[in-house]
Amino acid sequence: MHMLKLYYAPATCALATHLALESTGAPYEALRLDFQGGQQRSPEYLRINPKGRVPALVTQRGILTETPALLQFVAQSFPQAGLAPLDDPFLLARMNAFNSYLCSSVHVAHAHRVRGSRWADDAQAIAAMKQKVAQNMADCFTLIEEHMLQGPWVLGERFSSSDFYLFTISRWLEGDGVDVARFPRVADHLQRMNAEPVVRKVLPLHQG
């Protein structure tokens, strides 16, 4: 397979795909963008991803974006890594449902704290959105804690790419004003993921 190229930036959801790629043992290249310097809006990067966001994965057949899609692509491209229950249509759908929820609801709730200008121009409206973030994130994680995180992993006994994705977004809670200790199962998952060798290797690249 042609070497994959992953575009990422610190403190973004691209961490999930980076962890998934690293865990496969397959060769790939990780290219860090400087979001603070606006590199995501450069003409060069917009040719790769017109959305101006990460992650973006350059493959032999074209460029893929959106974390749920990238996680499934990696899992199917490297089935020996066991990142998705490819032999079980129901469990695979459950994995994709969980990843889609993180993408469509939880990430969006978080983005209202730092990207309020996507939804409003009025300063008061943006401030009001920021004030609501902690409650919205806590509501999302209550749902995850009580109904979605089967334990010990998202899909129960079976580890999957959903665990990389949950870990990535759980790390945002503190900055969003939510104490992860409110969610014992999520907190336990976060702690165990922090101890994983692949996390210890990749996480430093996503800081600062």
Query: Residue 174 carries which DSSP code?
Result: T
Q: Taking 70 as the threshold, does the pLDDT of residue 134 lie above it?
A: yes
What is the CA 192 to chain-centroid distance, rounded?
Answer: 17
Q: Taking 90 as the threshold, does the pLDDT of residue 100 lie above it?
A: yes
Band (pLDDT 50/70/90 cuts) for residue 208 is: confident
Q: What is the pLDDT of residues 40-92, one digit of tens each?
A: 999 999 999 999 999 999 999 999 999 999 999 999 999 999 999 999 999 99
**Under a CB-based contact definition with an 8 Å cutoff, are residues 157 and 151 in contact?**
no
Mean pLDDT of the chain: 95
In the sheet that 62-65 helps form, which strands lie side by side, from edge to edge?
A: 28-32, 4-8, 56-59, 62-65
Domains by residue range for the chain, with CATH: 4-81+201-206 (3.40.30.10), 89-196 (1.20.1050.10)
CA within 13 Å, CB half, 189: 30
Closest by Cα among 76, 26, 67 to 167? 67
Element (H, E) at 66: none
CA–CA dist 136, 110 (Å, integer): 8
Q: What is the pLDDT of residues 4-22, one digit of tens each?
A: 999 999 999 999 999 999 9
